[in-house]
Chain A
């Protein structure tokens, strides 16, 4: 089945990275970021200064201790930073070496939980790590390019076909539910069979994200929960099953207005070390994610496969664009409800009423309008376009937490 949408933000950001040449920058510092896992309370299993091996458990979820978070590199724990309410903000590992934990094969679920692969799954509604014993209504593998300068998953997967196939087979084995591989038009990335279904998508950002795809194929609700997982995480599961060691690296695009490179970096890599050997990139002005919606951060976030150079946005080059850019910035205030929001939002959900409900904290209306189908990343286009300066991702997380705290039927 093919789904095409014209809704989204189509912005000429710069060159698209080609598959080659691959760069492998020497990254010595990686970090586990607490913000990548909303609502998780971490129980630390290591102290500052401890030596760790790749794959070793760094911390577990306090409420569900079966869920482990694994070290993405071997070395020693150089820094542990606690944030508000002593929640883990950042755990930094420095060092090198390829000392890795070998996991015993056995029950698939237990292996994924122990090896730190479980947090690659994300539930929808709520966007959290699924319960270790839960069964979803479907699993979605996102194999589409989300932003203009992201890597083309089809190119990345050409060298990883075997591991991807093994990973998909593991997903089928994990549950009895259908598994959807969402990809662009072309040859199926995995041969469709009984419970494995292929759906193709095309359109501008953010139609390559999991949100719009799940919204099209299987809208979620209080009664129906699905999981989604990124394509490189599926490859990592395949690699884990083949070698009994975790795959610590990901292919990411490193891009700016004039340059685009492909690099293989460890999970949670320190961004300034990634661009250390590359010209044209200022190590102090980097985003984890795309230039449209990325976060200013020192480390690569768990689900981001893109590093962008933060530059003054000269993308809109027309005369009127420049005149308007020269105006002083208006004070932040209320939403001006133009059609731009609908044009950038590829959901059958009404953006302006939802934005208003979230901004005033009206949980019931937000749920009626469909906020359960969304997570933070889906709100990024609206946050970018809205003149009010509200972060709708944060507002949505707050609303989702209120719904969770009232108990889900």
Chain B
């Protein structure tokens, strides 16, 4: 039960909470990777601002600050050796076609960083992603805990994701490196990509199914592709599962309608 008055979540507030949660992973990444992160962060933030301003002028509306957060998530998960022009193209694609083109945040159904990263990995498959430092994984977990406490991140999605992976791990071949499932990429992906409320399911049952499907896809794509916990497995799992989210919500709606029809016949 909530002790204080529930927060009124508007788009700015939710972006601010996500920004606070994202701050530690960004700082940790910059410290660990050193000066070579300065350029991507600066370029990412400028692109985020640029596209928000362009769309606010075109639509004659206020600026959507969430693009900055999408850009930061994108940069943190970005493989180190990505050339600048590839970063610019894929991040722009993600921001415009993943988020801004739908209008206000909440009208779209995808996460801009997911779309951008998927574009990058699809178009330039030669890039070698790394799985991130364990320190980043820990601070990303802390950020996730903050978002969980605020109710921005659904605990049902996180629990279903964890449970599904725990169920599937025994079926993996002995050669699989399970350590990679706790890598920074997986934790960041779960908290900021899969857990994005706009991209996710919007019913309780839908969230359970959504988290479980995301976990299964991370294992499946990881095992079939580059390796468990790889960036591509997390990004494509997040992309696929957000496309499936409305279908999962429909399953929840069918179950709810059936249940209420049964209650209609009940006489006290």
Cβ-based interface call for B62 (8 A)? yes
Beta-carbon contact of A334 and B203 below 8 Å = no
Residues in B whose Cβ lies below 8 Å from that of A20: none
Q: Please classify the interface of chain B as helix (H, G, I), strand (E, B), loop, or mixed, using the class held by over half of its residues.
A: loop
Beta-carbon contact of B1 and A324 below 8 Å = no
Given A333-B104, A353-B203, A369-B257, answer yes or no on A313-B12 (Cβ-Cβ < 8 Å). Answer: no
A266 to chain B, nearest CB (A): 32
Beta-carbon contact of B13 and A369 below 8 Å = no
Cβ-based interface call for A221 (8 A)? yes
Residues in A whose Cβ lies below 8 Å from that of B203: 342, 350, 352-353
B252 to chain A, nearest CB (A): 7
B78 to chain A, nearest CB (A): 26
Distance of A352 Cα from B245 Cα, bound (Å): 13
Beta-carbon contact of A338 and B264 below 8 Å = no
Beta-carbon contact of B197 and A338 below 8 Å = yes
Given A219-B263, A219-B266, A349-B260, answer yes or no on A316-B11 (Cβ-Cβ < 8 Å). Answer: no
Cβ-based interface call for B61 (8 A)? yes
Cβ-based interface call for A6 (8 A)? yes
B156 to chain A, nearest CB (A): 7
The one of A9, A334, A368 that contacts B257, using a Cβ cutoff of 8 Å: A368
A348 to chain B, nearest CB (A): 6
Cβ-based interface call for B10 (8 A)? yes
Interface residues of B in 248-268 (CB under 8 A from A): 249, 252-253, 256-257, 259-260, 263-264, 266-268
Given A324-B17, A349-B260, A385-B6, answer yes or no on A336-B106 (Cβ-Cβ < 8 Å). Answer: yes
Interface centre among A333, A342, A388 (most CB of B within 10 A): A333
Per CB-CB distance, the 7 closest pairs between chain A and chain B, nearest first, are: A333-B104, A334-B106, A337-B202, A330-B12, A352-B202, A330-B10, A387-B10
Cβ-based interface call for A2 (8 A)? no
Q: Which residues of A contact B (CB under 8 A)?
A: 1, 6, 9-12, 197, 204, 217-219, 221, 224, 313, 315-318, 321, 323-324, 327-331, 333-340, 342-344, 348-350, 352-353, 368-370, 384-385, 387-388
Cβ-based interface call for B152 (8 A)? yes
A10 to chain B, nearest CB (A): 5
A321 to chain B, nearest CB (A): 7
Beta-carbon contact of A324 and B7 below 8 Å = yes
The one of A315, A342, A352, A388 that contacts B4, using a Cβ cutoff of 8 Å: A315
20 residue pairs bridging A and B, Cβ less than 8 Å apart: A10-B3, A12-B3, A12-B4, A218-B267, A219-B264, A316-B5, A317-B4, A324-B13, A327-B13, A331-B11, A333-B107, A338-B197, A339-B204, A344-B6, A350-B252, A353-B249, A369-B257, A370-B260, A387-B11, A388-B106
B8-33: contact bitstring with A at CB < 8 Å (1 yes, 0 no)?
Answer: 11111110110000000000000000
Distance of A263 Cα from B152 Cα, bound (Å): 41
Identity of the chain A residue whose Cβ is nearest the Cβ of B245 in the assembled complex: A337
Residues in B whose Cβ lies below 8 Å from that of A388: 106
A335 to chain B, nearest CB (A): 6
The one of B1, B62, B198, B268 that contacts A204, using a Cβ cutoff of 8 Å: B1
Beta-carbon contact of B264 and A334 below 8 Å = no
Identity of the chain B residue whose Cβ is nearest the Cβ of A313 in the assembled complex: B5
Identity of the chain B residue whose Cβ is nearest the Cβ of A356 in the assembled complex: B202
How many B residues face the partner with a CB closer than 8 A?
Answer: 47
Beta-carbon contact of B6 and A340 below 8 Å = yes
A214 to chain B, nearest CB (A): 11
B192 to chain A, nearest CB (A): 15
Beta-carbon contact of B105 and A316 below 8 Å = no
Cβ-based interface call for B151 (8 A)? yes
Beta-carbon contact of A334 and B105 below 8 Å = yes
Residues in A whose Cβ lies below 8 Å from that of B3: 10, 12
Beta-carbon contact of A340 and B9 below 8 Å = yes
Beta-carbon contact of A350 and B5 below 8 Å = no
Residues in B whose Cβ lies below 8 Å from that of A197: 268
Cβ-based interface call for B2 (8 A)? yes
A215 to chain B, nearest CB (A): 9
Residues in A whose Cβ lies below 8 Å from that of B266: 219
B109 to chain A, nearest CB (A): 11
The one of B8, B11, B152, B268 that contacts A385, using a Cβ cutoff of 8 Å: B8
Interface residues of B in 212-268 (CB under 8 A from A): 249, 252-253, 256-257, 259-260, 263-264, 266-268
The one of A336, A348, A349 that contacts B197, using a Cβ cutoff of 8 Å: A336
Identity of the chain A residue whose Cβ is nearest the Cβ of B12 in the assembled complex: A330
A125 to chain B, nearest CB (A): 12
Distance of A224 Cα from B264 Cα, bound (Å): 9
Residues in B whose Cβ lies below 8 Å from that of A219: 260, 263-264, 266
Beta-carbon contact of A330 and B11 below 8 Å = yes
Beta-carbon contact of B260 and A334 below 8 Å = no
Interface residues of B in 83-118 (CB under 8 A from A): 103-107
Cβ-based interface call for B131 (8 A)? no
Distance of A388 Cα from B198 Cα, bound (Å): 13
Beta-carbon contact of B9 and A385 below 8 Å = yes
Residues in B whose Cβ lies below 8 Å from that of A327: 12-13, 16
B199 to chain A, nearest CB (A): 10
Cβ-based interface call for B154 (8 A)? yes
Residues in A whose Cβ lies below 8 Å from that of B257: 368-369
Beta-carbon contact of A329 and B6 below 8 Å = no
